[in-house]
Structure 1
């Protein structure tokens, strides 16, 4: 996986998104120029304790590669044990130190881990000791501090702990819509020897290359803009009709639960439907109605086999087809 940073001029990455960056979406964006995909953030403690939780939260297949599995954790033991569970089915493991949501902070995970650099470093070292395979990446995703010197001290400590690469969202914990601090990311790149990935406000392929030029990062990570336009990394300014059709086909194959299936499409079509069309489409409440509406609106057809499979009944909790 690390060879990507040597062979690709710019590594294009699908960010970890709670509920959204699951197997079907990862498969879709890989077909539209995505080089590397992250799983959604998974709770490490629940993952190591519950087989049911593992079955629901982590699904993959041989073509889902390279894949980084991201965990939220606050102890070395739970993160390292989670790594052992997914080692054979992934290219690397990532520690979330960037989630700014209140529930995460209150639970002692996510961005609050930035205030515990010694604990983070211990988590990373113990994981690397348990999985000494140098081809398997161990990485971290962080936010920045307002204090540049403190940020630089943190990333150097993380590098010393043996991480393979670093993903940086260029905002502080408290910032949401403020401009991303590209200058700080550039300073981070100049301060470490490992690959650095930039994250935040990248909404087009042109912007991705502009960010790379400004910061000298090895890769860019996109979340919301990729959700709204899975064809972004292939240079599309809006979701192409071919992408919508492919989403339908993938979800028939993988048996995605209707709610997730439809919610993704709502995001994908937001900028390509009129207000009245969005009102109709967003209110559709079954898979067959969604397929019929999209096939009619965008003038494509699915095979009869595909259409018949869409009548499959799925379990509400797991999205697995019921027999």
Structure 2
């Protein structure tokens, strides 16, 4: 059976089966493999995209960051910020939060619908930092540790709790923070190997991640999985990160936005991703047209689509017109068509 036949055979049935809880911690503790993870992407890791990456060997998937303050107080925010379905598992909902009270309320609200909660301690956006959210938390170690402690005291193993941090310039400070989180019961830690001020164009610091992981193990926390994040764009990167840092999982973010089939071993996004994403967009809806358009742009750019066509696509103003544009330029198969979701190369339509 070819790789594409395997992926096609794993397409989800309609109607979907009942949602089942999956414990992501058990996946991370499976020592027979390194767990593949799709990290949180502001706006972009919505339900249709999450379902797409799951089709291509992604074990665990995150939501975009949701602000706890708005979520627990505003019903409209809950409707717009969070959607899921029976197939959306294992699912980690990431939260931006700066106090214990909002975090406890948030966890209580989302617990029935997710498999874990992740605290965002890595967002470097200045507005978030001013509010004590994201990267601000790695400089407010006592508060972060207290938040983890209170959630685990109340929920124990009924809900899994993760923290995603960036590194300090002083690696020992990061190590001390991670050990403190382990002591109060965090289920796993994700380490993004950049500081608050490191640009994404600069290489991720795998030495720092390796140093922190080794320090956590020496402190006696061998059973708490550590996930490495940063610069995973191909499976070659994935293997390099895993082997060098000795982590239990590797998280990709930008790499998956450009190539959702990264974890299936494709160095370049296959055309099947385009057809499958169209299916999930129509099936679920719920995301603005501009985001759908940009998802297609990222994938098609990765596939080296002709620049003229890329520019042409970005001038289109509606979903219906976008579908017509795809049909005019490509052989775009639908779900019930023979060969749907199997093509690798761009199937240009030959015009008369």
TM-score of the superposition, structure 2-length normalised? Answer: 0.83
The Cα shift of 1:135 comes to: 5.0
Which residue matches 2:56? 32
Which residue matches 1:180? 204
Structure 2 unaligned residues grouped into runs of 5+: 1-23, 217-221, 338-352
Q: What are the residue-to-residue correspondences of 1:42-191 with 2, within 5 Å?
A: 42-132=66-156, 134=157, 136-176=159-199, 177-191=201-215
The Cα shift of 1:127 comes to: 1.0
Which residue matches 2:3? none
Q: Any idea what the Cα deviations from partners look like across 1:21-46, whole Å, max 9, x if unmatched?
A: 11111010000111000110010111
Q: Any idea what the Cα deviations from partners look like across 1:205-228, whole Å, max 9, x if unmatched?
A: 111011100001111111111101
Q: Any idea what the Cα deviations from partners look like across 1:183-238, whole Å, max 9, x if unmatched?
A: 11112222223111111111111110111000011111111111011111111112
User: 2: distance between equivalents of 1:236 and 1:222?
Assistant: 14
Q: How many residues align?
A: 304
Contact 1:2–1:135 (CA<8 Å) still a contact in 2? no
Of the three residues 269, 281, 284, the one matched with 1:254 is: 284
Please list every run of at least 4 consecutive aligned residues from structure 1 whose deviation after the TM superposition is greater than 4 angstroms: none
User: 1: distance between equivalents of 2:133 and 2:311?
Assistant: 38
Change (3 A) 1:117 1:290: same
Contact 2:68–2:97 (CA<8 Å) still a contact in 1? yes
Moved more, 269-278 or 157-166: 269-278
Change (3 A) 1:303 1:162: closer
The Cα shift of 1:260 comes to: 2.0
State the SS of the aligned residue for 2:61: strand
Which residue matches 1:41? 65
User: 1: distance between equivalents of 2:92 and 2:334?
Assistant: 32
Of the three residues 2, 7, 12, the one matched with 2:36 is: 12
User: 1: distance between equivalents of 2:310 and 2:27?
Assistant: 39
TM-score of the superposition, structure 1-length normalised? Answer: 0.91
User: 2: distance between equivalents of 1:295 and 1:217?
Assistant: 44
Structure 1 unaligned residues grouped into runs of 5+: 306-323
Which residue matches 2:340? none
Q: Is 1:292 matched with 2:324?
A: yes
Which residue matches 1:222? 252
Which residue matches 2:7? none
Q: Is 1:280 matched with 2:312?
A: yes
